[in-house]
Amino acid sequence: MSDDKQAEFHQRLAAKNLGALWVARRGVDLTKPAATADPVHWRFEDLRPDIAEAGAIVSAEDAFRRVLTLENPAWPGEMRVTNALYAGIQLVRPGETAPCHRHSQTALRFVLEGSGAYTTVDGERAPLMPGDFVVTPRWSWHDHVNEGGEDVIWLDVLDTPMVGFFDAVFRESHNDFSQSITKPDGFSTARYGANMAPSPGGNQTATASPVFRYAFEDTSAALTRLAQGQEAHPVHGHKLHYINPTDGGPATPTMDAAMRLLPKRFKGADYRATDGLVYCAIEGSGRAVIEDQVFDFAARDVFVVPGWHRHRIESQGGAFLFSVSDRAAQEKLGLWREQTSP
């Protein structure tokens, strides 16, 4: 068939909302994932003035959530940090309350700076301290209150692009500006946080972890003891995943989160996996080499490793490095794979 006839045929197909698969696949390498996200690095020292200015020009009530979204340059304006995840830096100033609401997305918080604030999830509040990891399960009422004397800043990561793909994003505001406290502090940790489960009803699995605050003091102590008893992994250093204690799986159904301790003079081996990773250092510094890009990161910096990108992480002085990705969802679908030193 001549080129003119093929072109005319394709036009007729398009008019019927049809397409030719053999044309769409022409020249496309289907032997590996197509790279869509870009590696990117946000330095906290560069963000800090913008965070402060946002706090000066808009209130938490007017903004509803005063957040600077971390937008991957591959998708400007789309509020995506990786293919499947949204991320942003949230600020709550002294005396402020971020109003109570709930949504169908799961939200993760990783506290970067400040003290004196707490989050309330379904009637239980928990303090927010630097390095703490906090889970807000989907469709859970939550608000954030700062009763202290300094700004509190954290990293938000949500599965919004993933949930949006399924046309399943819903949100609802609470009738009250902030919800009532109905449970004592530490209630969820008392029920599930000591390698034990309550009875009756303790054998039931939850879709997200019933322990919604993982204190950094506990995480860092566990990793420090771990490092005293074993050699560092050649890729990950010393790494622990945050888990749902009811089933031993990831803390949320869609996102996997972990903390690693990179020992001094650590030089990680090359590695890649299909999940897109968002990293944030809470202490120390290091270097991330992602394909042909090099990011020197410091405490509270955020950087992204897109899926199936060869990378390695190094640290001369040691670091605590938090990460979150869509690995949990990929594993449930049987899609996740990894490769060391490709």
Classify the phi-psi angles of 279: left when phi > 0, otherwise alpha if psi is within -120 to 50, otherwise beta.
beta
Over residues 274-285, the pLDDT tens digits come to 999 999 999 999
Over residues 14-23, the pLDDT tens digits come to 999 999 998 8
Residues above pLDDT 90, as percent of the chain: 83
Q: What is the pLDDT of residue 60?
A: 77
CA 141/CA 121 separation, integer angstroms: 6
Q: What is the pLDDT of residue 205?
A: 59
Domain residue ranges in the chain: 40-340
Over residues 121-180, the pLDDT tens digits come to 999 999 999 999 999 999 999 999 999 999 999 999 999 999 999 999 999 999 998 899
* Lowest mean pLDDT segment, chosen from 40-44, 59-63, 106-110, 119-123: 59-63
201 — pLDDT class (breaks 50, 70, 90): low
pLDDT beyond 70 at 1: no
Q: What is the mean pLDDT of the chain?
A: 93
Number of Cα atoms under 13 Å in the Cβ half of residue 74: 14
CA 178/CA 170 separation, integer angstroms: 19
pLDDT beyond 70 at 203: no
3-state secondary structure of 193: coil
328 — pLDDT class (breaks 50, 70, 90): very high
4 — pLDDT class (breaks 50, 70, 90): confident
57 — pLDDT class (breaks 50, 70, 90): very high
Closest CA to 340 of 275, 271, 289, 273: 271
What are the Cα distances from residue 112, in Å, to 234, 282, 288, 293, 327? 27, 7, 20, 25, 23
Classify the phi-psi angles of 283: left when phi > 0, otherwise alpha if psi is within -120 to 50, otherwise beta.
beta
Q: What predicted TM-score, i.e. pTM, was given to this entire model?
A: 0.94
pLDDT beyond 90 at 258: yes
Q: Which fold has domain 40-340?
A: Jelly Rolls (2.60.120)
3-state secondary structure of 47: helix
Q: What is the pLDDT of residue 59?
A: 83
Q: What is the pLDDT of residue 61?
A: 76
Q: What is the pLDDT of residue 52?
A: 95
